[in-house]
């Protein structure tokens, strides 16, 4: 098949934005190179927007807002249904794009990155079909109405997945949107804009402007015609967006950083819990904000856990992301690769025990942003590798002496996005889960649930995505008294 870069170049999309139902040339001439992390070579140049481009997109979204918010839910659901079908129909093209723009192993892109992204659209469609936008409360009508124009800022680590997690529920709620994808992984976003166009999205309902956070992101956050900002990114980026949004008092939903714990209880089946825990920590090469990168283990079990963890990590195949045998490709970009290398060095200097991995590339890979899956043990809770988000394949195993201490360690972080608990006695497992300060808790590695709301406590953000709560994030509440008299 045609490569996604060639496909986008031949269509002319690399140098354009999608605004008001058409592909338009940007107001300025700024551009940036997209780099394939497997080769460290540029593969495409994309246009970068400026304030004028954002103003144009926001005006288009504002113009379309009234009519789209009044469009019958069945018609909005029909659009989402067409989008869902096109995503699955073009799965291979999207998978190839994700592989070359951010290094996802092609098998993982096909199995997870694209299908799970499509699920967000399906869930938004299905929830919309049955949602009670007006409910009685005595003689008062409680109405849920679209908040208006939404600026959506998405990250580089799950490019398509995070786009659909925002666009699906926003459109379902009756909002119009301006999307700013990460300039580091924009190819799948351009393909998604084409899907929206081919699905028959009305002009102005969906708009895309590529650009950097300090320019396009900042303008979206401060824009007087934008009613809400939803950002997925680092805690630092979330703070900057909230500060820019404050003068216009718009709603800000933030899904930010994490340092998720994985508590292995004393009665857990280690032969199952540990390998699955390593797999979860290194999912997407650890480039997931909810990755459980702190494994909390009874001190008496440390030796056995180290052996099992090392064996699980040794089975990972890091290499060419286009190879069918590869399980994990390169780190997505140079700054993140350097961050991972720095934090591995920090762990060594802090005196943590290196179980497997370490600094540098795997021995057989001299080109590409490849990192060695690394596990540290005997990590103390106050070490930097136990406190800071690394966002790469680095797992810290932390010993504890009592379940109460494990809960205290789990909560000893500025973050609160995800958590895991493993154990045989479900009464104890549930009791521990209730005491963890995080937006999601996974018990004994359950299946992914696209209807489970996702979001954080503390500096992991505010607001929720996925499921009904994800759609309600884009709704205002109106009380009409005397409506039913």
Contact 203, 21 (CB under 8 A): yes
Angle 456-260-103 (CA atoms, 0-180°, nearest 5)? 95
Q: Output the CA angle 243-245-248, nearest 5 degrees.
A: 130
Active-site residue 289, yes or no? yes
Catalytic, out of 101, 183, 255, 465: 255
Residue pair 171/146 in contact by the 8 Å Cβ criterion: no
Which member of 56, 100, 175, 289 is catalytic? Answer: 289
- Return the closest-CA partner of residue 273 out of 139, 129, 149, 442: 442
Residues contacting 50, CB < 8 A, separation 6+: 26, 27, 28, 30, 211, 215, 216, 219
How far apart are alpha carbons 8 and 15 in whole angstroms? Answer: 9
Question: How far apart (Å, rounded) are the C-alpha atoms in residues 309 and 307?
Answer: 6
Task: Show which residues are catalytic.
Answer: 255, 289
């Amino acid at each position: 098949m045609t490569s996604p870069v060639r496909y986008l170049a031949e269509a002319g999309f690399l140098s354009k934005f999608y605004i008001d139902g058409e592909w338009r040339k940007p107001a300025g001439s700024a551009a940036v190179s997209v780099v394939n992390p497997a080769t460290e070579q540029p593969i495409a140049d994309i246009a970068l927007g400026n304030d004028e481009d954002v103003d144009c997109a926001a005006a288009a979204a504002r113009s379309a807002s009234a009519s789209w918010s009044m469009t019958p839910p069945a018609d909005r659901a029909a659009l989402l249904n067409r989008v869902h079908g096109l995503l699955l129909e073009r799965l291979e093209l999207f998978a190839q794009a994700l592989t070359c723009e951010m290094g996802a192993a092609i098998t993982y892109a096909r199995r997870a990155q694209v299908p799970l992204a499509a699920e967000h659209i399906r869930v938004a469609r299905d929830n919309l079909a049955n949602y009670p936008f007006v409910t009685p409360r005595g003689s008062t009508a409680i109405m849920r109405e679209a908040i208006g124009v939404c600026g959506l800022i998405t990250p580089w680590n799950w490019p398509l997945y995070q786009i659909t997690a925002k666009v699906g529920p926003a459109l379902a709620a009756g909002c119009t949107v301006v999307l700013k994808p990460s300039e580091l992984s924009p190819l799948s976003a351009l393909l998604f804009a084409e899907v929206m166009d081919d699905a028959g999205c009305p002009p102005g309902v969906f708009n895309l402007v590529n650009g950097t956070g300090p320019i396009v992101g900042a303008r979206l956050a401060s824009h007087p015609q934008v009613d809400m900002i939803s950002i997925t990114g680092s805690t630092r980026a979330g703070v900057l967006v909230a500060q820019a949004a404050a003068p216009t008092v718009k709603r800000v939903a933030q899904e930010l950083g994490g340092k998720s714990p994985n508590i292995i209880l004393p009665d857990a089946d280690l032969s199952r819990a540990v390998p699955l825990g390593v797999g979860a920590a290194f999912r997407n090469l650890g480039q997931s904000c909810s990755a459980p990168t702190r494994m909390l283990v009874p001190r008496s079990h440390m030796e056995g856990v180290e052996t099992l963890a090392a064996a699980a990590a040794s089975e990972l195949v890091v290499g060419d992301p286009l190879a069918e045998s590869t399980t994990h490709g390169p780190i997505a970009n140079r700054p993140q690769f350097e961050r991972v290398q720095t934090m591995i060095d920090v762990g060594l200097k802090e005196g943590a025990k290196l179980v497997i991995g370490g600094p540098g590339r795997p021995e057989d890979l001299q080109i590409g942003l490849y990192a060695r899956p690394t596990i540290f043990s005997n990590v103390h809770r106050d070490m930097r590798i136990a406190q800071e988000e690394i966002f790469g394949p680095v797992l810290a195993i932390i010993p504890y002496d009592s379940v109460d201490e494990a809960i205290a360690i789990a909560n000893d972080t500025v973050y609160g996005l995800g958590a895991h608990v493993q154990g045989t006695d479900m009464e104890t497992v549930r009791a521990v889960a209730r005491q963890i300060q995080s937006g999601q808790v996974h018990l004994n590695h359950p299946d992914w649930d696209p209807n489970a709301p996702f979001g954080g406590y503390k500096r992991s953000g505010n607001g929720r995505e996925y499921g009904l709560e994800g759609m309600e994030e884009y709704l205002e509440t109106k009380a009409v008294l005397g409506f039913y008299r």
